[in-house]
């Protein structure tokens, strides 16, 4: 079977979850940059909901990050990132769902887009969007801090899982905002977890192959199509 192909754009939070998991499992893959065709037929043929990532593996194509990383964890050799224990697996899926529903939307879709993505394109930040999101970001960081405050290395305890790789890219991108810089030191257990995750060989390798951070050009359209309004 040929190596899998990850379709997406380089700065995408969800694309980076998939790339981190493949890298950690030592699975060789190709990255196919869709930046110039986002929203166009070539992209929509892969993902009818106009999002990334998509994974191609031989004649099989799959989208939605949680489905993709579960497939990767089962289809390829390498360290398992899904616990055998039924409760630990339940807890992992709880965290994955929480990233999709609470962490990514407020940290990335609200704050990081307003603080980094739009200004890089010459579009002013909407302070109302940031103000609405910040109490929800603080709530999320408090929840993570409590979960990580029992002396364990990873979210589920001693076992690194898909949950950690789900949380990492959102919390990395948020760290680049002024809000992240101010808030993170208030959460010491979370900060220790971040340092541990940032120093994993997979994270370092993944960061080293990413191109220089460039403005996300197709995001100019997001200001019209799906910017939160308050």
Ligand X SMILES: N[C@@H](CCC(=O)N[C@@H](CS)C(=O)NCC(=O)O)C(=O)O
Query: Which CB sits closer to ligand X, 97 or 149?
Result: 97
Binding mask 195-224 for ligand X (x = CB under 6 A): ---------------------------x--
Q: How far apart, in whole angstroms, are the C-alpha atoms of residue 197 and residue 207? A: 12
Closest CA to 164 of 150, 152, 179: 152
φ and ψ at residue 214, rounded to 5 degrees: -110, 155
Query: Which residue is associated with the tokens 């990334």?
Result: 52
Give me the least distance between CB of 219 and ligand X, in Å please. Answer: 7
Contact status: 64 vs ligand X (CB under 6 A): yes
Size of the site for ligand X (CB under 6 A): 10
Q: How far apart, in whole angstroms, are the C-alpha atoms of residue 5 and residue 101? A: 26
Candidates 50-58, 128-136, 137-145, 147-155; binding stretch for ligand X (CB under 6 A) = 50-58
Give me the least distance between CB of 38 and ligand X, in Å please. Answer: 6
Query: Which CB sits closer to ligand X, 11 or 148?
Result: 11
Contact status: 171 vs ligand X (CB under 6 A): no
Query: Which CB sits closer to ligand X, 96 or 141?
Result: 96
Query: Which CB sits closer to ligand X, 52 or 130?
Result: 52
148's CB contacts (< 8 A; 6+ apart) are 155, 189, 190, 192, 193
Query: Which residue is associated with the tokens 């993505």?
Result: 117
Query: Which CB sits closer to ligand X, 12 or 187?
Result: 12
Contact status: 22 vs ligand X (CB under 6 A): no
Give me the least distance between CB of 97 and ligand X, in Å please. Answer: 10
φ and ψ at residue 22, rounded to 5 degrees: -60, -40
Contact status: 170 vs ligand X (CB under 6 A): no
Please pick, from the candidates 5, 10, 35, 51, the single residue that binds ligand X as defined by CB under 6 A.
Answer: 51
Kind plus residue range of the DSSP H or E element containing 172: helix 162-175
Q: How far is CA 198 from CA 92, 103, 120, in A?
A: 20, 18, 25
Rounded to 10 degrees, what is the CA torsion of 194, 17, 82, 151? Answer: 10
Contact status: 162 vs ligand X (CB under 6 A): no
Contact status: 38 vs ligand X (CB under 6 A): yes
């Amino acid at each position: 079977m040929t190596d899998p192909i990850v379709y997406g754009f380089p700065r995408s939070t969800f694309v980076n979850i998939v790339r981190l998991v493949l890298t950690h499992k030592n699975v060789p893959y190709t990255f196919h940059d869709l930046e110039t065709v986002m929203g166009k037929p070539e992209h929509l043929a892969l993902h009818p909901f106009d999002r990334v990532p998509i994974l191609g593996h031989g004649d099989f194509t799959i989208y939605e990050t949680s489905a993709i990383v579960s497939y990767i964890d089962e289809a390829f050799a390498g360290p398992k990132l899904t616990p055998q224990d039924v409760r630990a697996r339940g807890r992992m899926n709880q965290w994955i769902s929480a990233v999709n529903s609470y962490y990514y939307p407020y940290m990335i879709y609200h704050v990081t887009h307003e603080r980094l993505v739009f200004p890089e394109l010459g579009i002013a930040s909407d302070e109302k969007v940031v103000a609405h999101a910040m109490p929800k970001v603080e709530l999320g960081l408090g929840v993570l801090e409590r979960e990580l405050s029992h002396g364990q290395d990873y979210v589920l305890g001693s076992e690194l899982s898909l949950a950690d790789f789900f949380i990492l890219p959102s919390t990395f991108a948020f760290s680049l905002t002024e809000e992240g810089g101010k808030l993170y030191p208030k959460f010491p257990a979370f900060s220790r977890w971040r340092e541990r995750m940032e120093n994993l060989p997979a994270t370092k390798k993944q960061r080293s192959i990413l191109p220089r951070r460039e403005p996300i050009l197709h995001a100019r359209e997001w200001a019209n199509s799906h910017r939160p309004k308050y």
